[in-house]
Amino acid sequence: MSTPETSRFVRLRVELVLEVEDADALTKRALAHIAGDAEMPDDERAHAETAVTEDTAEAVAYLVDPFDLVSEVPGVELQQASWSSERVDYDPDSPDWDLDGEDVEGDDEEEDGIG
């Protein structure tokens, strides 16, 4: 009898809801992060600075790096990552925000690949 082959790849899905308590501090830190990136071309830097100044969700996206989440996990190497941030209306009492409940969206998707 042979055992089915198991993929070495794992898809990790994380959903976070953050409350921005100090938008100015967040924006300043994002701008400092952008300024410290010596490899960023000037035109991209100007676009990034405008984006984080106008939208706190963009500031969060510039500061959160999926690599940081797994860089200290032994035995794994990040193969691919994508992330985004957006402003949302958050109601912790709404069943739409039940993170412990069943994942209604995406139940039929394959869980063994990186995408």
pLDDT band for position 79 (50/70/90)?
Answer: very high
For 33, the domain range is 20-72
Could you report the per-residue pLDDT of 100-111, keeping only the tens digit for each? 655 545 444 444
- 57 in a structural domain: yes
Q: What is the mean pLDDT of residues 8-18?
A: 89
Q: CA-CA distance, 50 to 48, in Å (whole number)?
A: 5
- 114 in a structural domain: no
By the 8 A CB rule, do 49 and 13 touch?
no
- 105 in a structural domain: no
Q: How many domains in the chain?
A: 1
- C-alpha 11: how far from its chain's center? 13
- 84 in a structural domain: no
Model-level pTM?
0.70
Q: What is the mean pLDDT of residues 80-87?
A: 90
- 42 in a structural domain: yes
Residue 83: what pLDDT?
87
pLDDT band for position 4 (50/70/90)?
Answer: low
- 55 in a structural domain: yes
- 66 in a structural domain: yes
